[in-house]
Structure 1
Amino acid sequence: MTSPTATLLVSCPDRPGLVAKIANFIYSNGGNIIHADQHTDFTAGLFLIRIEWQLEGFLLPRDVIDTAFAAIAKPIEASWQLHFSDTIPRIAIWVTKQDHCLLDLLWRHQAQELPAQIALIISNHAHLESIAQQFKLDFYQFPITKDNKLEQEAKELELLQKYQIDLIVLAKYLQILSADFVAKFPNIINIHHSFLPAFPGANPYQRAYERGVKIIGATAHYVTADLDEGPIIEQEVVRVSHRDTVADLIRKGKDLERLVLSRAVRLHLQNRVLVYGNRTVVFS
């Protein structure tokens, strides 16, 4: 059992001395830095850093770290997030009928690969309720039509609040969330079955086959109001050939989808992803 740590994710306009200012805040308060990674986007003129330190021996109580860092952040025009390693996020997994991504996440969670608590499963169909029962998870079905979509989303938001959900994972949830829903709950990760920006939307494997591509992929990204346009967290590809049918592409793609989604969720839970604009920095 490792001692708890704190992590700061910071972005601000680039200027000299930023690493020193941020590191000195931790050092001067007795902190031992165990991880630091940084990136400068020269095009955007933006500096981004992830810095993690041990809380044992740190002089500031947890509840004042954020306020204390604000005195450093304001002069450098920084935006920041503060996370603690022993704060366990609560996840809701949303599904439709396909089970491969859901099962992969549940198995990885069971193997303690994901530092989170999976609190419930939500679906617009009843097909995967037996899996929820198998893993002793609460399951809720919200059938979606064009006429009841907003009403159902309001109920789903109430449920997320009741369960104190921090992150939604769309594990092949084949519905488009409304812009209003995303605005009210922006922490959503989706898996898309293509190497975005190629083949957004529906039926990418069929369109990839018709185009005769030699590589197919999968993309995990944060959800925004624009379909399949959110900041990308993780991607992977596999080669295909003229001998592969659409069914072959789907089979190979499912393997990628499992891997890419689990990687993205883990990176998010480890606080290694920093979004700026419609891009991300994924810290090692």
Structure 2
Amino acid sequence: MKTILVTGSNGLLGQKITERLLETQQFKLIASAKGENRYPVKEGYTYVEMDILDPANVKEVIETHKPDAIIHTAAMTNVDTCEDQKELAHELNVTAVETLLANCEPHNIQLVHLSTDFIFDGADGPYDELAAPNPLSYYGITKLEAEEVIKNSKCRWAILRTIIVYGIVSDMSRSNIVLWAKGALEKGNPINVVNDQWRMPTLADDLADCCLLAVQHDAHGVFNASGKDMMSISELVGRVADYWKLDKSLINEISAETLNQTAKRPVRTGFILDKTIRELGYQPRSFAEGLAIVDQQMKERAAL
């Protein structure tokens, strides 16, 4: 049985990977994050505190637990924060990857790394794995730089690019666009939503499955790992309102430029998923199925 070390295990994707591994028992899990473990179930795996910005700490954890693969989910993903805090963004999104690679190479550890649609400018999405990147934001620049560092390493690696990850975790502490829209509309709060950007939102459970498929297949190369339905951000929020029967008149559609966000966003991204479906057996759910799964999980958590 392979041992997997997960970085950022307190995040949405990290918790979904933990959940999936506890269900399937197909791999031995070492979950790691900065600070204490926020996943409610503490048995059936090992949790270690690990600061990805502390090379000595990272080296110690890897040499102690000897993983066969590392799934690297930890990153600074707030696009505007990356623009405002460039030095920290570079440390978290690039330097930390270099630290992991330095420990993967001598021990022949596979690195499964999460990347993003924001490495593209959005001029001609959806993109396949060979499309030429052109990031518009510092976040996108750091994620592209991390990809290049990985590709130039002697490590066994797989890069999974994803888009707008949504889902629910037990403590509800990890917000995302679906939960944000649902929460605001339930409170009767009007929300501004852009109608001139298009994405393919990704269910966190599907992305967790894809991460594990990459380990299972000892995958090498770049793989697109998003949802399969393309929609504008305003359509996405409208579909959230429809699903939970919330008041759509509270949704104020605006253009992206009126938001005055610090970082520039791509207009239309989206991914062509053929390679990942063919080579890894990836099976992303539709957005409608994803919302139903989130709804079911919320009901289960409320019943606990």
Q: How high is the TM-score relative to the length of structure 2?
A: 0.40
**What TM-score comes out, normalization by structure 1 length?**
0.42
- Whichever structure has more helix as a proportion of its residues is 2
Taking CA–CA contacts closer than 8 Å with sequence separation of 6 or more, which of the two structures ends up with the larger relative contact order? 2
Which structure: greater strand fraction? Answer: 1
